[in-house]
Structure 1
């Protein structure tokens, strides 16, 4: 396991006798390299004890070759985690102590949020995602691996979690930085498991709409002619799904800050939703695979029968399933189509902003309803230019 360093530890090494820098959440002791640096020792010392990620990626500031990154790897001494702090405070009362701690925690959370979003802002797509003809630039897998030291896009992704070690913050930053491949990524790399990870979008309506029709017909059969109750329950099911869509996206798929700092936790997060932020334009992994859909649907269907009488339960389930189909198909549509200008044009920009501007807000896919209710509406900030 690589040693973890804090910002204060790195910041204490700023001289020619001991010079450390941070690059892509890793710490490097470049003391021995200072005199050999082609740009001179002053350039390195100017950034001693600091994060040089943005500087090294800025070709106008100081362009680096692939060999430069290879040389840098030789000086890596550990990983960087600025969420670790050692603070000693003396307080006069419990109330004062709690207030100070709460304020410090909130400030730290805001700083972490700004740091994460600044990484997204370095990408070209953070400025072009609102365009009608938005098309992300293809990622050079070899260069990405050298510069990010995260996952190798040329290999099966899941097995790499068993042979690598990341800090939690490094994982979250990298998995939310979008990459783009012209073909579907290799997920498992196993001839039997790999096909199970791929789902074409039209499988969702073909599988679930007949099930929804069957559930609604059961409700009608039990209603004894009270079709209004079945219709009302169907509409209630649709509404319940919109809330579930929001809650699942926010509290299950984006469990980020509460994610345990463990490789297995990262693996589960990546499999469930992290992959979608890592490779958001992978067409065959944009809708929910049937196996995962059934696993999530089973307890929800049982809950529906527990909460409602049968005549209502069947219709509520039917409405919920139709809502889910609309959600998954809308999700695919927003990513891969030139959408209809009414409602969908705005929702496309809104969802693209969730990927390229701020993934800690904007959880609604089909609408902004519950984002407005729970205060997580995503604000775009600077205006975006659009193509007609």
Structure 2
């Protein structure tokens, strides 16, 4: 790879192709690239050329700027002094691996970096992924989705199906908040619900949605697949998000599957409680869903959001990059606290 070239980014072909393109850099070449404005770093004897815009570093762009062209080995392991130094997670290491372009001349490569799962020899990330993931063993598939990457992958061969998987965040409040408002109006004006009961029923609906959100995430989305068909199902539901957590076009649910879920809960609520109550509860649940999806988008995109607290952000980032058996709540940490899946050490991570 010539110094002026851009390295292949995640979401394009990697693995063997990436290894073939790696080269040996001198310290002077690394500094020249940094002086030219590239976000190049040395870590454990290897050279990384990072796409700062795609990476969306949680510490902000200033951290990337401050260390450009430097050896970040001790900073990355948390062995250096200073606020930017902390032990980075396995997920952060996996992200960094995607930007490796070679080795530093005269340096011994450290053992800290995984070279990628066996899926790299099978998966071509520049082509539709759903037909490919079924070729992986459950173990290789799980290792692959647990190594986060950057980019915008192609999931389906069918262009219409591919477009159906991508939804911009603002579609969610524009579509669903009017529905929630209409249901509240119907509960009071047409079904005879006393107006004073509407706020607390809507609040119960929001809390009910948060329980649904937590339960789906913990016990459905994180079921371990056991064969080709369950791998494909898992990949469509949640695997692609863990592999590409910063794919901003797929951070919210498309309207069609979300509508089916809402309709199902409307039927269940109507069967369990009087229709006026069911309508108000469903309205609250839909409002909770809007908060869930917009909060999820903000957590990954870095956009400001009134529901994103430092604790919630730290919990969700830990779920993605360190331990996917904690932090199942998206719009709040309430049920993580109730069910014991909030990391007790989280307080130290938000100070």
Taking the aligned partners of 1:231 and 1:60, their CA distance within structure 2 comes to: 57
DSSP-derived class of the 1:362 partner:
coil
Give the count of matched residue pairs. 257
- In structure 2, the residue matched to 1:309 is 274
Q: Deviations over 1:266-301 (max 9, x none)?
A: 000000011100100001011001121122222111
Q: Deviations over 1:232-263 (max 9, x none)?
A: 2111111111111111111111112xx3x211
- In structure 2, the residue matched to 1:139 is 98
- In structure 1, the residue matched to 2:256 is 291
- In structure 1, the residue matched to 2:120 is 148
Which residue of 283, 286, 295 corresponds with 1:330?
295
Taking the aligned partners of 1:341 and 1:208, their CA distance within structure 2 comes to: 18
Confirm or deny that 1:370 pairs with 2:342.
no
- In structure 1, the residue matched to 2:140 is 170
Q: Deviations over 1:200-235 (max 9, x none)?
A: 111111111111111111101145472112222111
Q: Deviations over 1:156-212 (max 9, x none)?
A: 1112135x2x2222221221210112xx21111322222111111111111111111
Taking the aligned partners of 2:349 and 2:214, their CA distance within structure 1 comes to: 26
Are the equivalent residues in 1 in contact too, given 2:138–2:227 (CA < 8 A)?
yes
Confirm or deny that 1:226 pairs with 2:194.
yes
- TM-score scaled by length of structure 1: 0.59
Q: Deviations over 1:58-115 (max 9, x none)?
A: x85999xxxxxxxxxxxxxxxxxxxxxxxxxxxxxxxxxxxxxxxxxxxxxxxxxxxx
Which runs of 5 or more structure 2 residues have no equivalent in the other structure? 1-42, 48-87, 102-114
Are the equivalent residues in 2 in contact too, given 1:339–1:348 (CA < 8 A)?
no
Which residue of 265, 283, 301 corresponds with 1:318?
283
Q: In 2 relative to 1, CA 379–222 (structure 1 residues): closer, same or farther, beyond 3 Å?
A: same
Are the equivalent residues in 1 in contact too, given 2:148–2:245 (CA < 8 A)?
yes
Taking the aligned partners of 1:178 and 1:152, their CA distance within structure 2 comes to: 16
DSSP-derived class of the 1:179 partner:
coil
Are the equivalent residues in 1 in contact too, given 2:327–2:343 (CA < 8 A)?
yes
- Aligned runs of 1:82-97 on 2, under 5 Å? none
Are the equivalent residues in 1 in contact too, given 2:117–2:144 (CA < 8 A)?
no
- Aligned runs of 1:76-225 on 2, under 5 Å? 121-124=89-92, 137=96, 139=98, 148-162=120-134, 164=135, 166-181=136-151, 184-222=152-190, 224=192
- In structure 2, the residue matched to 1:14 is none
Q: In 2 relative to 1, CA 381–232 (structure 1 residues): closer, same or farther, beyond 3 Å?
A: closer
C-alpha displacement of 1:373: 1.1
DSSP-derived class of the 2:159 partner:
coil
Are the equivalent residues in 1 in contact too, given 2:270–2:278 (CA < 8 A)?
yes
- TM-score scaled by length of structure 2: 0.65
Are the equivalent residues in 2 in contact too, given 1:230–1:311 (CA < 8 A)?
no
- In structure 2, the residue matched to 1:268 is 233
Confirm or deny that 1:243 pairs with 2:214.
no
Q: Deviations over 1:7-56 (max 9, x none)?
A: xxxxxxxxxxxxxxxxxxxxxxxxxxxxxxxxxxxxxxxxxxxxxxxxxx
Q: Deviations over 1:319-359 (max 9, x none)?
A: 00000000000000111125469852221121011100101
Taking the aligned partners of 1:267 and 1:380, their CA distance within structure 2 comes to: 35
Larger Rg: 1
Are the equivalent residues in 2 in contact too, given 1:354–1:363 (CA < 8 A)?
yes
Taking the aligned partners of 1:141 and 1:151, their CA distance within structure 2 comes to: 18
Taking the aligned partners of 2:307 and 2:289, their CA distance within structure 1 comes to: 21
Aligned Cα root-mean-square deviation (Å): 3.2
C-alpha displacement of 1:150: 5.0
Confirm or deny that 1:347 pairs with 2:319.
no
Q: In 2 relative to 1, CA 346–289 (structure 1 residues): closer, same or farther, beyond 3 Å?
A: same
